[in-house]
Structures are given as C-alpha cells and as structure tokens.
Amino acid sequence: MSSKKAEARVEDLSSRRLQQLADENRELRQYVAEVMKRLRANERLFSHLFDLESQVLKSTDPEDLCFTLLRGLRSGFDLDFVRFWVDRSSFMGGRKFEGLSERDLVWIEKGEIQQMGMSRKRVWLMQLSSSDGFDWLDARDQHLGSLALLTLGDLERPFGVLGVGAVDRDRFAPDQSTDFLQHLAQVIGLTLEHAVARERLARLAITDSLTGSHNRRFLQPHSHQPLSQWFGRDCGVACLYVDVDDFKVINDRIGHSAGDDVLAMICEEMRHFVRAQDPLIRMGGDEFVMFLPGCSKQKAGEIAERIVQRVAESPLPSDDKVSISMGVAYSAAGQDMAVKDLINKADQAMYVAKALGGNRHEAAGEEPEQGGD
C-alpha cells in the first residue's frame, strides 16, 4: 500500500471517528437536557407538593382539608379530574361536607373498596377508553384518558379512594412510576385521619357529656363579643335562660341518676322547637342558655311558652312532674349587645319567673303578668 493511500485511509478513519464523537456528544447533550428538564419538572412537582402539604396542615377541619386538597391538586398539578370516594361506614361517615358537591365527593358503601380490589396496593394507574373504563366514573367523566387511584388509610381497612385524572392517556399510563403518588396517598390519608381526630377532640372539649349540649367552654370565646361578631350583622337575637324548678328536691326524691335523665329530657324537649344550629349551652348544674339568631321577639316568646308547657307535660319514669322557669331577652339587629349582657338580661328575667312560682317564662324589661303560662 502506498503512503498516500495509507494517509488517506487514516484521514478517513479520523474523520469518521470525529463524526462519531460529534454524534455521541450531541446525543449526550440531548440526554443531559432531557434529564435536566425532568429534574426541573420534578422540582416544580415537589415544590407544589410541599406547598400543598403546608396548606393541608393549616386546615381547621376535615371539610376545609378536603376543599384545600381538591383546589390545590387541580390548580397545582394541572389535573382535569379530582374526586374523593369515601366509605360511609368509616370514621368519615355521617359527616356533612356541605361545601363539597357530588363532583368532589361520592359516598360508597362498606366493603366496596375491597370488592373493587383496590385495597391490594396503594396506587393504581389505568388508561381509559370507551371500551375500558372504571365503574365509579359516570357519563360526565367520559373525557378522561387516564386515571390514578390512590387508596387512603390502612390497606387492611381503607376509608376512601382519591381519584386524579387527565385527558392525556399517557399521563397515568400503567408503566409510569408511582413513588410520588404513593407519598401523596399516605400524606392525604394521614392528614384526614388526624383532622377528624382533632375535630372530635375539640368537639368533646366543648360538649356536655350528660346532655349532648355545649358546655361553658364553648361560650367563653364569644362571651365578650358583640352579637354581630358571632351571628352576623343585621340579625336580631333572642336568648332563653332556663332553670329547673326545685331541682335539688327532685334529685333528693328520685335520685341523682334520675335527675340526670331529667336534664337530658329537658334539653331534648328544647331542641324540638328550634333549629339544629341554634346554640344550646349547659351553664352548669340545672341551668341552660339557648340563642335564637334571626328569631323575632314575638316568636321567641311563643317558643319559650311551648317549651315550658312541653316540659311540664312530660312524664318522668317515677310519675313525678318537673317544671322550668325561663327568662327571655332580645337584642334587635341595630342594638348589637354583648353576648354576656344579653345572657344577664335573660338570667334576670328567669329569676322573675321563678319568684312568681315557676313553670312559666318572663320577658326581660317587661312587667310580668299575673298567673302562670
């Protein structure tokens, strides 16, 4: 082989090697760019997750927590679908989520999660089509291309499922990694369990265990507030102050256990004539306060009269009778008294009713009529 041919061959090999190196370098740059792109996407993803976790931890109750999750997942993660399915037999059951629609939360029956097989693992990914869907979806969800199902709670006793979906069929394709979604499922499950536990403890702290009414701790934060701060502006508020007539005599005659039943019965009778959200508070012993926001002065008097009559007509197991004395005070919308001042007026009126023999009600600031109700 001549030297010129040898040089040409070496030059050709060098050229091809340089071209190969250039191609490899270009591919490497593309790979690094793709990796960096994924890292930046993951960084944004985890940043959104940390922000969401921070918001969740600030939530004050389970409904607020669910609302925060729904809003945060939709806006922070570009999702086309977010929905809770919750077992009504679980600790979440029986709760009212008035701020959430059926689009946000659907109640399912006991055992449905296990029957669907979703308790076998934490996260399920699926691609959807007209022939391959998911039983819990309905006609309004036909636009979805893929779905991730996150099982919430202990897998042996799951309490719900969170579904997140996208129009893109590849967003939650079965070959995708689920590490991030598993973390999300555990965070959501734990925070919901803790939120319900905190709410239950808070409710127990302000609930009278005997009658189921509120106790004085419930009233303390509101006591010095104007009524408008508690019940809203331009709202007249009536206050009923109740004391059981001769309760010590009743306790001595029929026993303290039966006396407790009397108090529970009186609270039950009071609730028959008012709305579920009207605060009923046991002040201690045999004294109770009830607030009726948005109730007229006349209507409050009618309610008081009916409660007094209903209690007097309620038989006790021992065939004894019980009666109550009640004071009624009213603050007009423009008056906006302090809560404690309205209670004091009703309390004074109650003592007038008791001085007149009991088994009656009296309105604060009015001359009492002679005779019973």
pLDDT tens for each residue of 291-330: 999 999 999 999 999 999 999 988 776 667 899 999 999 9
Residue 176 confidence class, pLDDT cut points 50, 70, 90:
confident
Tokens describing residue 174: 């079965």
- Tokens 């960096």 map to which residue? 36
Does some domain include residue 108? yes
Instruction: Write down which residue in 203, 224, 242 finishes a domain.
Output: 203
- So what's the pLDDT on residue 372? 44
Tokens describing residue 114: 């296990």
Q: Does the pLDDT value for residue 183 go beyond 80?
A: yes
* Residues 185 and 225 placed together within one structural domain of the fold: no
- So what's the pLDDT on residue 107? 93
Provide the 8-state DSSP code for 208: -
Tokens describing residue 148: 């991730």
Provide the 8-state DSSP code for 314: P
The least confident of 38-47, 118-127, 221-230, 362-371 is: 38-47
Q: Which residues are CB-neighbours of 84 under 8 A, at least 6 positions away?
A: 66, 70, 104, 105, 106, 160, 161, 162, 163
Q: Does the pLDDT value for residue 141 go beyond 60?
A: yes
Residue 220: give its domain's CATH number.
3.30.70.270
Nearest to 142 by CA among 171, 108, 111, 167: 167
* Residues 353 and 255 placed together within one structural domain of the fold: yes
* Residues 230 and 336 placed together within one structural domain of the fold: yes
Distance separating alpha carbons of residues 56 and 315, to the nearest angstrom? 50
Q: Does the pLDDT value for residue 189 go beyond 80?
A: yes
Q: How many domains does the chain have?
A: 2
Region 136-143: mean pLDDT is 89
* Residues 236 and 327 placed together within one structural domain of the fold: yes
Helix boundaries (H) for the chain: 3-58, 62-76, 112-115, 179-205, 216-219, 227-231, 247-254, 256-271, 297-313, 339-355
* Residues 167 and 240 placed together within one structural domain of the fold: no
* Residues 233 and 303 placed together within one structural domain of the fold: yes
Residue 106: give its domain's CATH number.
3.30.450.40
Instruction: Write down which residue in 154, 175, 203 finishes a domain.
Output: 203
Does some domain include residue 117? yes
268 burial level (CB within 10 Å; 0-12, 13-18, 19+)? middle
Mean pLDDT over each residue of the chain, to the nearest integer: 84
Does some domain include residue 10? no
- So what's the pLDDT on residue 30? 73
Distance separating alpha carbons of residues 23 and 30, to the nearest angstrom? 11
* Residues 149 and 174 placed together within one structural domain of the fold: yes
Q: Which residue has the higher pLDDT, 209 or 83?
A: 83
Does some domain include residue 43? no
In the 3-class helix/strand/coil scheme, how is 211-232 assigned residue by residue? CCCECHHHHHHHCCCEHHHHHC
Give the residue numbers spanning the domain of 96: 59-203
Does some domain include residue 31? no
Does some domain include residue 353? yes
Tokens describing residue 38: 């994924």
Distance separating alpha carbons of residues 1 and 23, to the nearest angstrom? 31
Q: Does the pLDDT value for residue 178 go beyond 70?
A: yes
Distance separating alpha carbons of residues 50 and 313, to the nearest angstrom? 60
Q: Which residues are CB-neighbours of 198 under 8 A, at least 6 positions away?
A: none
pLDDT tens for each residue of 5-16: 666 665 666 777
* Residues 82 and 192 placed together within one structural domain of the fold: yes
Does some domain include residue 357? yes
Helix boundaries (H) for 130-255: 179-205, 216-219, 227-231, 247-254
* Residues 249 and 335 placed together within one structural domain of the fold: yes
Does some domain include residue 5? no
* Residues 197 and 231 placed together within one structural domain of the fold: no
- So what's the pLDDT on residue 66? 84
The helix (run of H) or strand (run of E) holding residue 327 is: strand 324-331
* Residues 173 and 275 placed together within one structural domain of the fold: no
